[in-house]
Chain A
């Protein structure tokens, strides 16, 4: 272990003694953090909302109630056209059954996050407890969850539950009347009133837990009308992730350089085990990545960025991403042959994976096409940014980042396996 640490120490010393490395470790990311933080600074930066189009073909009290419930369940939903405003126009005609196709297209184009159609006959179906399906369209990723679907589900549960309660109450009154052999209520309208009262009461009771559950769901990084994290809450983790990626990938060039200047071969001919040499190299890269995170997040601290509620989870996301980038770099070092190839590729790969993964701007911005969000799943930056957003922006805790952290570590395991297996000294 001592030899491993000596190798790590030497690596760090050599890396940090080069002025150009210091610049890319400090000056560049700091400048970029400010630039990106300024360009994409959002308005309030707190509330985030999802645009959901609603076509109400029923135009009944019940359908209006559905819309109101949906809004109540998840205030994060921006319902079109009910909330039509200047800042967010939605050119959806209030009532027009034929426009469903256009609305579906809007979802497919990513103009809207989801579409709910309340078919005509909705109220009647509720009344008679008949099955009815509510067409629902969304482009959300199964992997990242669908906040809108969850909200709709919650409302439907509420509605169904309330209807069932109301029907039960009416049945109960009927049964009582039969048993007692007479009318309990003077006229039928009183039965209707009862049904209505029970329905309302049941629905009110139902609301609380459902609302909580669906609000959790909206924390998932889905498309949001406001564009999700902005300002420093976007640019600090974004820039940090990108430069960590750069720092890691620049290790490829260094490894190849060590091979060219033959010091790697010299080490290999010394009484050192393979794990000591490769482990030393991996550890130094990992530490440099963590240092890079430290520098940019240190800047975040200075500018007053809220680090969220779970510092340990934050550290975990950083470590998982640093490990992932290090493993990627090691594997790449076994694939590329020349240093020129390596440095060209590291620039290209670093920029692409960073932009793809939402390091430059939030993937939740409305103008990002859905296809980009799907492609982004191949970039490790996506998972890091997802984890950071959960913690910094949505105030999540450890459990909220377990999925991205798990994915990053699983990918690292694969890269390490092939990287270490294929690593050659000569």
Chain B
């Protein structure tokens, strides 16, 4: 069966006012199957929103095409969009209107009317748990409540495909939990196909059936989480806090050459907010990050070696391969850099 969402060779080049070309997306191929939760994971500026905008028909791709349920977004935009519910990154609501008025209006835009419209609006209000506040103006809602209405609007017409672009940005943990649970409900209760973008490894990890990692406009890895972490091999990631603001280069060299399994060792300088004095900085100390196969087993020898170099260890963290490690492995940068 054909995939629910497909993209072939999607490219987007922006030309800025001063004539500079920005290649925001450099050829993205995707195939998301029906009933799947697919995450697009990448740091800020990676091209997630631009990709979403292209496959929802908001901006024209410079090259390539995408289809939803087999309908080309550029060729048959109205058919493709009828299957699609978009939940944008920002709150996209009329602040002066009540929750119900917003839902009513957008419902009409999806072609709903009369009793049918009313029923769907009621359903959605129940789903987002805002029935009791339905007649309040959206501008008076809390951030989390606005988020819920924002999600509700995209579900009014019971779409087969839902796009969610970083829906948890800027909300508290409780509401964030709610959003994540909603994603599962969409797949499990309504059998919807969800394309979810995030820069948070934990979210992608928790939600996704499959993940595409995007960086600088390119998908650099794609697969189930197991498939992706296998790319990194058995490498564990050790983060060792030390009480010095600088680590001797010999130590780093020694770690890489003398200990079996270590593939990378680097010093992460301590970072503090501006205006904090150097004394504070000294107290905080820096970190040594080590990538090592069977890192747990190698840990005692690593600590010994550090001690031999007269550096005191404050803390030790060992992480098994995860998406963060995959990203680090592929780009040499942390997701949140």
Question: Is B30 an interface position by the 8 A CB rule?
Answer: no
Binds B, one of A120-128, A263-271, A382-390: A263-271
**A273 touches B (CB below 8 Å):** yes
Determine the residue in chain B with the shortest Cβ distance to A424.
B59
| A338 touches B (CB below 8 Å) | no
Cα of A268 to Cα of B94 in the assembled complex, Å:
15
Asked if B35 is an interface residue, CB under 8 A from chain A, the answer is: no
Known A-B contacts A14-B96, A266-B92; A426 and B59 likewise in contact (beta carbons under 8 Å):
yes
List chain B residues, Cβ under 8 A from A271.
77-79, 81-82, 109-111
Does A212 have its Cβ within 8 Å of any Cβ on chain B? Answer: no
Residue in chain A with minimal CB distance to B81: A271
A397 and B94 CA atoms in complex are apart in Å by 45
The stretch that binds A, out of B50-58, B193-201, B211-219, B287-295, is B50-58
* Among listed B83-91, B121-129, B278-286, B324-332, interface-contacting one: B83-91
Chain B residues near A272 (CB-CB < 8 A) = 78, 81, 109
Q: In which size bucket is the chain B interface?
A: 20 to 34
A-B residue pair count with CB separations less than 8 angstroms: 69
Q: Answer yes or no: A205 CB below 8 A from chain B CBs.
A: no
B184 part of interface (Cβ distance < 8 Å): no
A268 smallest CB distance to B (angstroms): 5
B141 located at the interface, meaning its Cβ lies under 8 Å from any Cβ of chain A in the complex = no
Nearest Cβ on chain A to B95's Cβ, whole angstroms: 7
Residues of chain B contacted by A424 (CB below 8 angstroms):
59
Chain B residues numbered 55-84 whose CB sits less than 8 Å from any CB in chain A: 56-59, 77-79, 81-82, 84
B97 CB within 8 Å of chain A: yes
B92 with A263: CB separation less than 8 A: yes
How far does the Cβ of A17 sit from chain B's closest Cβ, in whole Å? 6
B97 adjacent to A268 (CB under 8 Å)? no
B153 at the interface (CB under 8 A from A): yes
Q: Contact partner of B58 among A6, A14, A265, CB < 8 A?
A: A265
Inter-chain CA distance A310–B58, complex, in Å, is 47
Closest B residue by C-beta to A264:
B92
B84 touches A269 (CB 8 A): yes
Contact indicator A266/B88 (Cβ below 8 Å): yes
Q: Are B108 and A3 in contact (CB under 8 A)?
A: yes
Who on chain A is nearest to B163 by CB?
Answer: A269
The 5 A-B residue pairs with the shortest CB-CB distance in the complex, in nearest-first order? A262-B92, A266-B92, A269-B86, A271-B81, A271-B82
8 contacts between A and B (CB under 8 A): A2-B108, A6-B109, A10-B94, A267-B109, A268-B58, A269-B57, A269-B86, A271-B78
Sample of 11 further A-B pairs with CB below 8 A, known A2-B108, A3-B108: A6-B108, A14-B94, A261-B93, A262-B92, A263-B93, A268-B58, A269-B58, A271-B110, A272-B78, A272-B81, A424-B59
